[in-house]
Amino acid sequence: MHDASTLLEVAREAVTLAASVCRQVQRNLDEVRAITKDDKSPVTVADLASQAVVAHTLRRRLPAVTLVGEEEARSLRDPAQAANLRATLAAVQTVWADCTEAALLDAIDLGRAQPSGSFWTLDPVDGTKGFLRGQQYAISLCFIDRGTPAVGALACPNLPISFDAPLDQADPHGTLYTAIRGQGAYEQRGDAGRASTARIRRADHRADEPISVCASVEKEHSNVSDTDRILERIGRAGEPARLDSQAKYAVVARGQADAYLRMPTKKDYVEKIWDHAAGALVAAEAGCIVSDIQGKPLDFTRGRGLSNNSGVICAAPRVHRLVIQAISELGIGR
């Protein structure tokens, strides 16, 4: 296996290229819709193109790659999806000029591997509704080494670095977050290539401060009533920061919000590993505590799902303690 710094450099390149492709698709939503005759097709094109670009980059840069991705190419092999295939290929060719249809399909299907030993996991477009609204989404890539997230790259193409900029609008530069386990978390502009990075360190929450929760725009993604009960129990609830995708992990990690609560909407719902691996690593390396709603560490040894966990809590240390205590006192999840 390559050393962690090499893996990080490859991951950074992969998500940066994928972000470029996604920006291109997002800028041309109407054009893609006209080609495919489907209002939701742009996010499908971006998803598949992003996975193809990441898979191609990993395979080009590394001698052996096991990739557990969210997408597969089966839909594009259907003749009825020829328009989506053409649109996806055109998007990929903006950064992989000599890509063919066969190479595209093969690259996407590299992500069909089963989790075993050490492997990469990818969410090529996390936050599909945010993508379609022209707001926040993320490209999340993480190397999991024998059950432990070890190297992560989280591209947030529309997320501004400045806290003063609105979260519900697309920033022209975006941000990129990277982390190596035990070596801290870093932030840089998303479109600046090898621009200098700045380490982010999450300051703990003070007792006299309001508690701002980072919440999804789409309320069905988390149990809002449980979140409200927890905040009422804790007290001092501040204005929530609403945005989609694993960008929420970044916003908590850099101190723009105090907690991200993903409360289960169904008793038997299992979170997917690619929805949390890179974001959780970045947040933990910045100084946050990440666990499930019972306070247990996230278990990435159970295949494609976090089946040994229920929900996710990411917060500054003091707030994490308060949230877990409130969940226990309220009997949530029992």
User: Which two three-digit tokens encode residue 216?
Assistant: 């999804």
The one catalytic residue in 16, 36, 44, 47 is 47
Q: Is residue 206 part of a domain?
A: no
Judge if 49 and 143 occupy the same domain.
Answer: yes
The predicted structure's pLDDT at residue 222? 61
User: What is the tens place of the pLDDT at every residue in 55-106?
Assistant: 999 999 999 999 999 999 999 999 999 999 999 999 999 999 999 999 999 9
* The pLDDT of residue 221 is above 60: no
| Together in a domain, 20 and 154 | yes
Do 49 and 174 fall within a single domain? Answer: yes
In Å, how far are 21, 43, 286, 291 from 186, measured between CA atoms?
23, 28, 8, 21
Three-state secondary-structure class, residue 151 = strand
Q: What is the pLDDT of residue 39?
A: 64
Instruction: Give pLDDT, residue 223.
Output: 64
**Domain containing 46 — which CATH number?**
3.30.540.10
187 and 220 share a domain? no
Indicate whether 185 and 244 sit together in one domain: no
Residue that terminates a domain, selected from 146, 165, 200: 200
Alpha-carbon torsion, ordered 66, 181, 47, 293, to 10 deg: 110
Q: Is the pLDDT of residue 115 over 80?
A: yes
pLDDT of residue 167: 94
From the list 72, 70, 77, 86, the residue with the least C-alpha distance to 120 is 70
pLDDT per residue as tens digits for the range 9-62: 999 999 999 999 999 999 888 888 877 766 667 889 999 999 999 999 999 999
Of the residues 148, 179, 200, the one at which a domain ends: 200
The residues near 66 (Cβ < 8 Å, ≥ 6 apart) are 113, 116, 117, 118, 119, 120
Full residue range of the structural domain in which residue 238 is found: 213-330
| DSSP code per residue over 32-49 | HHHHHT-TTHHHHHHHHH
Q: Are residues 38 and 136 in the same domain?
A: yes
Hey, is 50 helix, strand or coil?
A: helix
Q: Is the pLDDT of residue 212 over 80?
A: yes
| pLDDT, average across residues 174-186 | 98
Ranked by mean pLDDT, the top range of 126-135, 193-202, 306-315, 325-334 is: 306-315
Asked if 70 and 274 touch (Cβ cutoff 8 Å), the reply is yes
Active-site residue flag, 47: yes
pTM: 0.95
Residue 227 annotated in active site: no
Amino acid, res. 9: E
Percent of the chain's residues with pLDDT above 70: 95
Annotated active-site residue in 128, 175, 178, 227 = 128
Give me the pLDDT at residue 140, please: 98
Q: Is pLDDT at 300 greater than 70 in this prediction?
A: yes
C-alpha to C-alpha distance for 74 and 142, rounded to whole angstroms? 24
163 and 59, same domain (yes or no)? yes
Angle between the 82-92 and 101-109 helix axes, to the nearest 10 degrees?
90
**Cβ(114)–Cβ(68) under 8 Å?**
yes
Mark whether 218 and 195 lie in a shared domain: no
Q: Same domain for 191 and 223?
A: no
